[in-house]
């Protein structure tokens, strides 16, 4: 008999999440039936989507939603061998039982030397968000100028590096000087700290006096309202996330987007990475190749200990992460 630890949503978030919103519980797992496997989480992901999705998809008492890299520790399913690592969507749990249908094997060419945690970040859902958002929503072309916010995070850092690979000029902004230094180190042409500039409008203008062809928006809210005015004619805005609004208890008010959209003939498109579920293999293969070639650099903010999942999640929402926030069990 195995005892799993799980984090449940004790009380729905009101405003910014607090440690008291979560409860740590223990669950006795039953013995395996034929066709089942027992898995142990090795790395778990904490992601911004958990904040809005908790309200949409969860009720109080549910295990927190989320993804992990897990190791198969026992198998009664001939298709799965003990010791193999997979990506699962089993929520904040140390151990769980699966029939194998919901598991994704790491790409077969995954090198032994590469941290498996990257399957939750650059070579996982956030990297794919950058890949499909740029390729299919922004439709960037060589020579164009791309703006990305939350640029030192899991999605943003890949957006900037892919845009460089695809021949663009890249401007990124982030919330600390260390993050800005990191962006320059990984090849961003221009980067600034949006928290310390005296005028966001001026900082955006200085970074690209001719404006922006593409804006990969991870933040929404006031930042997006300012940035939209600096789009070039026929510019494209990929509405990826709105993290500046996820914790609002009262919806933010405009300025509104219609006037610049009309006069600059902009295209603004919201998207979910899951729309390209049938192309994840293509994206993961490309991302793995670029990482192995050193063309895409990865940084992870690793929090040690399953008991620190809520703190890692709250820290990520506060901007304490450089690169992808993960928890090592
Ligand atoms: N559409 C889709 O399919 C997907 C969308 N997303 C979205 O992409 C965005 C980035 O996700 P991800 O890369 O995983 O997360 P990150 O690794 O970028 O972590 C979140 C970052 O957001 C920044 N942030 C937090 N609050 C604010 C704020 N009020 N204003 C500006 N920046 C803020 C912080 O960086 P800083 O220090 O710079 O403020 C923080 O580090 C999120 O909005 C997420 O919801 C993610 C995956 C899929
Ligand atoms: C692997 C789990 C898929 C989660 C999809 C997340 C979409 C994110 C939206 C906003 O953050």
Note whether 248 and 185 are same-domain residues: yes
Domain containing 53 equals 2-117+301-328
What CATH number did the domain enclosing 13 receive?
A: 3.90.180.10
Are 288 and 109 contacting, i.e. CB atoms less than 8 angstroms apart? yes
pLDDT of 212-256, one tens digit each? Answer: 999 999 999 999 999 999 999 999 999 999 999 999 999 999 899
Is 287 part of a structural domain of the chain? no
Note whether 105 and 208 are same-domain residues: no
pLDDT recorded at residue 172: 99
Q: What is the 3-state secondary structure (H, E, C) of the chain?
A: CEEEEEEEECCCCCCCCCHHHEEEEEEEECCCCCCCEEEEEEEEECCCCHHHHHHHHCCCCCECCCCEEEEEEEECCCCCCCCCEEEECCCCECEEEECCCCCEECCCCCCCCCCHHHHHCCCCHHHHHHHHHHHHHHCCCCCCEEEECCCCEHHHHHHHHHHHHCCCEEEEEECCHHHHHHHHHCCCCEEEECCCCCCHHHHHHHHCCCCEEEEEECCCHHHHHHHHHHEEEEEEEEECCCCCCCCCCCCCCCCCCHHHHHHCCCEEEECCHHHHHHHHHHHHHHHHHHHHCCCCCCCEEEEECHHHHHHHHHHHHHCCCCEEEEEEC
The residue-averaged pLDDT of 39-56 equals: 98
| Residue closest by Cα to atom 9 of ligand 2 | 49
pLDDT recorded at residue 120: 99
Given a cut of 90, whether residue 107 has pLDDT beyond it is: no
Q: How confident is the model at residue 149 (pLDDT cuts 50, 70, 90)?
A: very high
Ligand 1 site residues, Cβ closer than 6 angstroms: 47-49, 126, 129, 150, 152-156, 174-176, 179, 218-219, 240-241, 243-244, 271-273, 316-317, 319, 321, 325
Note whether 38 and 139 are same-domain residues: no
What CATH number did the domain enclosing 263 receive?
A: 3.40.50.720
Note whether 154 and 228 are same-domain residues: yes
> In total, how many domains does the chain have?
2
Is 284 part of a structural domain of the chain? no
Note whether 204 and 254 are same-domain residues: yes
Is 292 part of a structural domain of the chain? no
Is 280 part of a structural domain of the chain? no
Note whether 266 and 158 are same-domain residues: yes
Note whether 111 and 132 are same-domain residues: no
Given a cut of 90, whether residue 1 has pLDDT beyond it is: no
Note whether 156 and 226 are same-domain residues: yes
Note whether 101 and 209 are same-domain residues: no
Note whether 152 and 256 are same-domain residues: yes
For ligand 2, the distance from its centroid to the CA atom of residue 24, given in whole angstroms, is 24
Q: Which ligand is nearest to the CA of 239?
A: 1
Is 191 part of a structural domain of the chain? yes
Is 295 part of a structural domain of the chain? no
Note whether 135 and 249 are same-domain residues: yes
The residue-averaged pLDDT of 43-52 equals: 98
Note whether 52 and 174 are same-domain residues: no
């Amino acid at each position: 008999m195995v005892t799993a630890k799980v984090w449940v949503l004790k009380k729905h978030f009101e405003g910014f999440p607090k440690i008291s919103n979560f409860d740590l519980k223990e669950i006795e797992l039953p013995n395996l039936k034929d066709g089942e496997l027992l898995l142990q989480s090795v790395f778990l992901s904490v992601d911004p989507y958990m904040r809005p999705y908790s309200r949409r998809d969860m009720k109080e008492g549910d295990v927190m939603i989320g993804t992990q890299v897990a190791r198969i520790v026992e198998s009664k399913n001939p298709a799965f061998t003990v010791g193999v690592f997979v990506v699962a969507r089993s929520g904040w749990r140390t151990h769980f039982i699966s029939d194998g249908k919901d598991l994704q094997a790491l790409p077969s060419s995954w090198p032994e030397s590469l941290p498996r945690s990257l399957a939750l970040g650059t070579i996982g859902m956030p990297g794919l968000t950058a890949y499909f958002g740029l390729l299919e929503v922004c439709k960037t072309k060589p020579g164009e100028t791309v703006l990305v916010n939350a640029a030192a995070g899991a999605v943003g850092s890949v957006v900037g590096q892919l845009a460089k690979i695809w021949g663009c000029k890249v401007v990124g902004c982030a919330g600390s000087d260390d993050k800005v230094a990191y962006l320059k180190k990984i090849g961003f042409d221009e980067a600034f700290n949006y928290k310390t500039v005296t005028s966001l409008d001026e900082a955006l203008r200085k970074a690209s006096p001719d404006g922006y062809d593409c804006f990969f928006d991870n933040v929404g809210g006031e930042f997006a309202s300012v940035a939209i005015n600096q789009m070039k004619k026929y510019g494209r805005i990929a509405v990826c996330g709105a993290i500046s609004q996820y914790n609002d208890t009262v919806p933010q008010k405009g300025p509104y987007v219609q006037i610049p959209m009309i006069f600059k003939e902009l295209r603004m498109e919201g998207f979910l990475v899951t729309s390209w579920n049938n192309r994840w293999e293509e994206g993961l293969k490309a991302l793995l190749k670029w990482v192995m070639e050193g063309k895409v650099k990865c940084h992870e903010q690793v929090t040690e200990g399953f008991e620190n999942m809520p703190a890692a999640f709250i820290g990520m929402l506060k901007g304490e992460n450089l690169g992808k926030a993960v928890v090592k069990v």
